[in-house]
Structure 1
Amino acid sequence: MAQSSALAVFHFLKRPDLRCVAEETRAAIVAGRCASTFDISGNTPDRMRLVFPDRTLQAGPAWTIRHGLELSLLLEGLLTQETGQPSLPLLLRASFAAARTAALFEALDEGSGQGLPSPEGLLLMKGDEPPPSSVLMRIWKTLETHLPAGMKSATTPSLPLFEAVFSWLTKVWALIGPLEVLMASGGDARLQLDPRSGLNHYGCSHRPRPWAATFASSTASSVSERGFAAAERVRIQLQRALLYDCSHSTLLETARNVRNRLARYYGLPDGERVILAPSGTDCELAALAIAEMNPAHKPVTNILIAPEETGRGVPLAAAGCHFATDTAHSPHVPRGNCIEGFGSIAADAVEEVRLRNPDGSEVDEAILTEECRTHVERATRAGRHVLLHQLDLSKTGLLAPNETALEAFSKKFGQDCDIVVDACQARLMPSRIGGWVQAGRAVMVTGSKFFTGPPFCGALLLPEAWRSRLDHGVLPAGLKAYAGCGEWPECAATHNLSEAVNHGLILRWTAALAEMEALASVPPLETRWRLERFLSGVREAMAQCPDILLLDTPTPVRAVLPESWDDMTTILSFLVRAPDSNDTDAFIPLELEKTRLLYHWLNADLRPVFRPDEPERESVVAGLLCHIGQPVAMPSKALKGDMAGALRISAGARLVSGEPIHAELSTEVRLAREIADARLILAKISLICHHWERIARYDPLPTYAPATLSVPAPERSLSQQNGEK
């Protein structure tokens, strides 16, 4: 981004979403007089000037700035690509694409339209379909005013030209938009933002949220500034490719690049060993489909480990059934019905092995191993092929079966038993995962748990034997609703899949890979020290909080690797004392449904709950937005067998690598501030417990930003901008 003398004080740069976009343009952003909401001048990328009224740069509205940034980025692409001035059809495409992006941004933005109403043209560009050509012609009169003088047409373009633009917009409409909209596509309904809160089902955002205290990597995290910037660069490439009708090839190439980067990270030969999928549950479908291609073509028995601690849809996916009411490529599917092509497995061929006893304690390792062996032996005797899961880790940090048992199963049952590792938490050394694949196990990973990438980016890593099946078998036809060819290796089996490339998935993985590669730049022993420093500080804080009971989680038992850090417990699960219990009594945990309420209230600004004269209203704790791991159902003896809710504070990759904007902070100072944030979260839990009834009557809604700030200022606390923020 070209700098002007006043740029450093422009108010919009306090917003990480706008700052990341602004850093991608070469245009000089300046304050000045404008004939419209903004002006662009210059006929080369290096001489372009993006001019806004001074008031706009200081106070918004944000959509105007976003519109100007988008148009400048598209014009830069045209000026770089073309030998002369861009043609009128290209200028029309760029102008309407920029307006569409600004319209969607305005619809998402908190406090949008302040001080300046959005024009009619912008409103018309928000719809599910593009406006008709006659309306486009009317909108163009406004959009043309933003173009440099040398690019403006001397005469009004003809109606056939606008009809051609309408035809083009119809084809690419779903691919045009700001990053935070495009990243929300290609998953399921859980990715969609609640318009009341600006957050998705997981309580996080596809915009950076540095003012929130976040340790939610066991569930999902809001995108970081590093991840947002990386994905934004890919989005810009896509938007420029749209203008030249080459978006499909661009997306295919980007998908190959993502698969190759994942392969390098895990030490695999190439991206042909990687399948991309929106979620771990989608990975389950892929694993089942390949297991059904077993050499003997036997029907499959699928053995799951603790599906209650992985994902609610996993048992359905394990049976080859639709696990939700929508998919990445289809808005409506019949949840629970068998997916076309998964004919050899029935619901009664899914076996579940529990990790916990009815009182919440762990099942003894020997008992669990014996249960797995019994299931495998029974299935193989019945002439079935087995897909056995290894869980590493569960939502509360447990793993099973152990390595000794799995090696014995592989030796005894050979080709009759496929093993897939559910490593979706990804709290593992990359070399360990690569070693499993080399040893013949498939591995499910995500970029959205430990790595703190956006939710809904999963992958299945294939051993050689699994990959070879794809050259001879055929995938179920019903997988077309879930996956496209670009997310899978090039093979004979994928001819049933969709031709469309899941652009939302590719953008989310791009953001996650930025975090993965940042973590890889930290030496393993330093990673271990940083994790230990944070975790010991949080454990100490929990021990000092009377409203918290830290659950005992065993240290993961894994084979020793040089300089490893993955033998640490990085998910701290805890129960919360019920508000109506006496502090002197035995610890009575909060039941599951109430824990879910507390989880939502943590992510809300509680200051409006209190009167102006009450100290709680002015406290940092009440206004702090806190995002931690979602409650996990936990059987409780104290609740006479009813379920308590275990919340989680987790250490993720971003905690280790930090954010680039905090590079000048020493590691010790940064981690101390992370621990301070965790202490504030515990303090907010206590505040909620002590004012439960009042807060329940108010029932505050989680929000993207604090309730009293229309444009949040992240400098409130540096400690809330790093780590998993």
Structure 2
Amino acid sequence: MSNSGSAPRLADRRSPLGPGLPLASPLRELFAPLDQLLVCGGDARLARHPATGRNAYGCSPSPTPDIPSFSSCTATTISQRGYDAAESARTALMASAILHGLVDCFDARVEAMRDELRALLGLGDSGTEVVFAASGTDAQLQALALSRALLGDDLVTVVVGADQSGSGTVHTARGFHFGERSTNDCRVTKGAPIEGLGPVRGVALRLRGADGRLRTAASIDTEVLETVESLVTRGARVMLEVMDCSKLGLQAPSDACADEIAARWPGRVQIVVDACQMRLGRRRIARSLARGDLVLITGSKFYAGPPFSGALLVPSRLAAAIQTAGPLAPGLGDYATRSDWPKRWRSLRDAFAAAPNFGQWLRWEAALEEIRAYDAVPETFRRAALRLLGDGIVRLINASPALRLLPPQPRPAEGDEFAAPTIFAFTCEPDGTPLSLAQCRAISADLRNDADAPCLIGQPVGWGGRADDEAAALRICISARHVADAWAAHPGHAHEAIAHILDDAAAVIARITTRLTPPASTVPAKDHHAL
């Protein structure tokens, strides 16, 4: 059962650190080990396996610099600089909270983080508001709630690229719970409506056809436009979730299509940009906000902050309307707290509990440090490093006879350095046929669970068949951490650092290839008598 119906009171919520630390004493909770704090205030995806201390993605809440990581399209382990930033932030909050009170100091720090994130994204004076969330999935719920507040209850959600979006999107698009435990540690029923938010009618548009082949950009644009037009003609309001960068690095629909929809149906269609991969530059973010879009982002994924840290960017033209809007769905109290919302939205904030979400805050402190580190690297070096790493990974994949690189989609010019791909997806085809999703998952698990030399790659993405599991691709990704670390090593030694990253990628690809190649003892001997 959910605790929805009203925002959970401080004493009603169980401490995510365990029964030994009642949430009625949140300052005491702040003194828990940092590793514990970094995995609280989220959902079951953050839970650590008792034997390994890592979550289901193979990520640890403490730095593991010796484990090669090419998994920034899924989740990454926290870096040392991120860990240190989180510890420093925790220490500073402890000192100020003892003197001035925890809730007020925490609220002030989160508000300051909004300013820092806006500045890092080049949005300092744009009037853009930042809504923090535990993950990109949680941010989708916030986007749906704000869209309903702006457009009304007769809302239909249209998700473009539903087959290459997050696994929770099938639920969040309809206003349903996406797990069995919410961010605020409330027991909920997966697939059940969130009070006041669901059910919402949803339309899922796919990037692949029934035959498993990628559809053309023109056919996707046509379907998106016709779907939205049909819904609006019948009197519905539409929240259109467009894909800036899918799990396989694809964008849909085209910018021209989204521009046309925004121009034709203002006030009837709210565009939400899924930019959770964060493989886009400042100009592209600004472009979407100027069009009036809500933009979903994360501090993990490309920036390689710890999982999970989500946010929703709200353009200035919508922020003013939301500030005077009525209360949001009461069921959001399972997923958000007061400090998630901007201080300017006083009436909206008052419906949520004041309890600090330490885990979400500390993950964002670490993520902001990663964004700062990347932002400090000269743009010319960023572009060169991404190109060198990308070209090297492509060569390594193409050199393996058992792997087939999926062709990347060209990125828009506003992508800045992200006009070049940073996600490299490939199928494993030892006999000319792509391995299934289950087989690719087994390879990924073997790599991360290797006792001697673990490594992390992106989770496999499946397609084909009724369950999208007949074929799948594995992913090797470049992250901001690769670029920042290469620069920090020493500008004069940057090429050596990039070469080391490519050596790690080569070792990963070699291990995958070896796993696909049967041992020599199992290869049938040739019948020399037949020669």
Task: Answer yes or no: same fold by TM over 0.5.
Answer: yes
Matches within 5 A, 1:48-67: none
CA distance in 2, matches of 1:271, 1:214: 36
CA distance in 2, matches of 1:632, 1:641: 9
CA contact (8 A) 1:255 1:506 kept: yes
Q: Using CA pairs below 8 Å that are at least 6 residues apart, which structure has the higher relative contact order?
A: 2
Q: How far 1:663 sits from its partner (Å)?
A: 3.8
1:363 maps to which residue?
215
3-state DSSP class of the match of 1:293?
helix
Alignment deviations for residues 422-464 of structure 1 (CA, whole Å, 9 cap, x no partner): 0000001123202321221111110110000001101100012
1:311 maps to which residue?
166
Q: Is the deviation greater in 541-550 or in 387-396?
A: 541-550
Matches within 5 A, 1:132-143: none
1:382 maps to which residue?
234
The amino acid of 1:276's aligned partner reads F
1:275 maps to which residue?
131
Change (3 A) 1:641 1:332: closer
Alignment deviations for residues 196-216 of structure 1 (CA, whole Å, 9 cap, x no partner): 112112111111111111111
3-state DSSP class of the match of 2:242?
strand
3-state DSSP class of the match of 2:354?
coil
3-state DSSP class of the match of 1:217?
coil
CA contact (8 A) 2:61 2:306 kept: yes
The amino acid of 1:480's aligned partner reads G
CA contact (8 A) 1:226 1:660 kept: no
2:42 maps to which residue?
187
1:217 maps to which residue?
72
Indicate yes or no: 2:493 matched with 1:602: no
Alignment deviations for residues 372-395 of structure 1 (CA, whole Å, 9 cap, x no partner): 112211221222211111101000
2:433 maps to which residue?
588
1:488 maps to which residue?
341
CA distance in 1, matches of 2:281, 2:320: 26
CA contact (8 A) 1:217 1:650 kept: yes
Ranges in structure 1 where 5+ consecutive residues have no aligned partner: 1-103, 105-125, 131-166, 582-586, 607-622, 695-725
The amino acid of 1:291's aligned partner reads S
How many residue pairs get matched?
Answer: 502
CA distance in 1, matches of 2:95, 2:131: 27
Matches within 5 A, 1:174-323: 174-241=29-96, 243=98, 246-268=101-123, 269=125, 273-294=129-150, 297=152, 299-323=154-178
Change (3 A) 1:436 1:287: same
Alignment deviations for residues 585-627 of structure 1 (CA, whole Å, 9 cap, x no partner): xx12221112111101111335xxxxxxxxxxxxxxxx32110
CA contact (8 A) 1:571 1:650 kept: yes
Matches within 5 A, 1:583-662: 587-605=432-450, 623-635=452-464, 643-658=470-485, 662=489
Alignment deviations for residues 538-560 of structure 1 (CA, whole Å, 9 cap, x no partner): 1111121122211112222x145
3-state DSSP class of the match of 1:415?
coil
Alignment deviations for residues 634-683 of structure 1 (CA, whole Å, 9 cap, x no partner): 338xx999622211000110111117873476110000010000000011
2:529 maps to which residue?
none
Matches within 5 A, 1:10-29: none
Q: How far 1:311 sits from its partner (Å)?
A: 1.1
Alignment deviations for residues 669-705 of structure 1 (CA, whole Å, 9 cap, x no partner): 00001000000001111233346999xxxxxxxxxxx
CA contact (8 A) 1:358 1:641 kept: no
The amino acid of 1:542's aligned partner reads I
CA contact (8 A) 2:336 2:352 kept: yes
3-state DSSP class of the match of 1:219?
coil
3-state DSSP class of the match of 2:224?
helix
**What RMSD in Å do the two structures reach over aligned CA positions?**
2.6
CA distance in 2, matches of 1:255, 1:591: 44
CA contact (8 A) 1:190 1:201 kept: yes
Alignment deviations for residues 122-178 of structure 1 (CA, whole Å, 9 cap, x no partner): xxxx97326xxxxxxxxxxxxxxxxxxxxxxxxxxxxxxxxxxxx999554433212
The amino acid of 2:340's aligned partner reads E
2:190 maps to which residue?
335
Indicate yes or no: 2:494 matched with 1:667: yes
The amino acid of 1:534's aligned partner reads L
Change (3 A) 1:680 1:468: same
Alignment deviations for residues 698-718 of structure 1 (CA, whole Å, 9 cap, x no partner): xxxxxxxxxxxxxxxxxxxxx
Indicate yes or no: 2:503 matched with 1:676: yes
Indicate yes or no: 2:301 matched with 1:449: yes
3-state DSSP class of the match of 1:566?
helix
Q: 2:19 aligns with which of 113, 128, 142?
A: 128
CA contact (8 A) 1:323 1:336 kept: yes
CA contact (8 A) 1:393 1:425 kept: yes
Structure of higher CA gyration radius:
1
Q: 1:478 aligns with which of 331, 356, 359?
A: 331
CA distance in 1, matches of 2:253, 2:453: 40
CA distance in 2, matches of 1:378, 1:640: 28
Q: How far 1:523 sits from its partner (Å)?
A: 2.4
Indicate yes or no: 2:258 matched with 1:406: yes
CA contact (8 A) 1:303 1:351 kept: yes
CA distance in 2, matches of 1:408, 1:374: 12
Q: 1:686 aligns with which of 510, 513, 521?
A: 513
1:113 maps to which residue?
none
3-state DSSP class of the match of 1:678?
helix
The amino acid of 1:224's aligned partner reads S
